[in-house]
Amino acid sequence: MMTVQQNKKIEVRELGFKDYKDTWDYQEQLFKEILELKVKNRREGSQEETPNYLLSVEHPHVYTLGKSGDISNLLINEKQLKEKGATFYKINRGGDITYHGPGQMVIYPILDLDNFFTDIHKYLRLLEEAVILTLQDYGIKAERSEGETGVWLDVGTPFARKICAMGVRASRWVTMHGLALNVNADLGYFDNIVPCGIKEKAVTSLNVELGKASIDMEVLKQKFLSYFKELFDAELS
């Protein structure tokens, strides 16, 4: 059986400020194209390289519920959603409910892990590591919380709070969805949900932690991409 060449190039696509559903549809399109190419390679014994993408985006206010999530973790009704200018979607990633909105760095890697390593656990840990290293550059000691995907501050204390949520989907080692790091986020929107289904734990944002009105998102994103590239031994374009 012929082995397909590993392609460590990742095309970064900056989507700017984009509707959640439009972005989700776009992710699905890229995800499907990679899957179809993998099936074709296997069927025909060919070695066509599969592409990898990393989408960077900010969304208008939206709540999304993962396939294992509990709808009761959304604490407001349809009318209240409209009043807050927010939308709601049930989606096909892992995890429970989360919020996306302006002031978040949202990253969706659509990778063929056959190009890197076939280990979802390792994939999630490296995503977390890229965020942890980025926050370290701002003097923030971030860490993992056992059994709770994402990136946290002050783990194991009464002040534990989440700064980055993660939820992914994978099929045939192709990934989609990803992470949302609160940079200049309006934390009031988290009051309308039980974030990630975890009660009694707070959520925070980098600007709050640093006591600043706002953090330069572009500078932060470049730091993150640099660590991501290093951890995945990838070439970004």
Residues facing 74 on adjacent strands: 193
CA quadruple 21, 22, 26, 32: dihedral positive or negative? positive
Residue 4 is classified by DSSP as P
Q: How far is CA 79 from CA 30, 63, 71, 99, 175, in A?
A: 34, 14, 16, 17, 34
Residue 180 annotated in ligand binding = yes
According to the annotation, is 97 in a ligand binding site?
A: yes
Residue 99 annotated as binding site: yes
Point out the catalytic residue in the list 181, 196, 206, 234. Answer: 196
98: annotated binding-site residue? yes
3-class DSSP assignment, residue 126: helix
Find the DSSP H helices in 45-140.
Answer: 78-83, 120-136
**80: which 2 tokens?**
């209240």
CB distance 9 to 53 below 8 Å: no
Cβ(167)–Cβ(40) below 8 Å: no
Tokens of 212: 């600043």
> Was 23 annotated as part of a binding site?
no
96 known ligand binder = yes
The reply, when asked if residue 101 is annotated as ligand binding, is no
164 is annotated as an active-site residue: no
Q: Is 93 annotated as a binding residue?
A: yes
Is 167 annotated among the ligand-binding residues? yes
Residue type, 20: Y
Q: Is 202 annotated as a binding residue?
A: no
Show binding-site residues.
93-100, 165-167, 178-180
Residues labelled catalytic: 196
The annotated binding site for substrate is made up of: 93-100, 165-167, 178-180
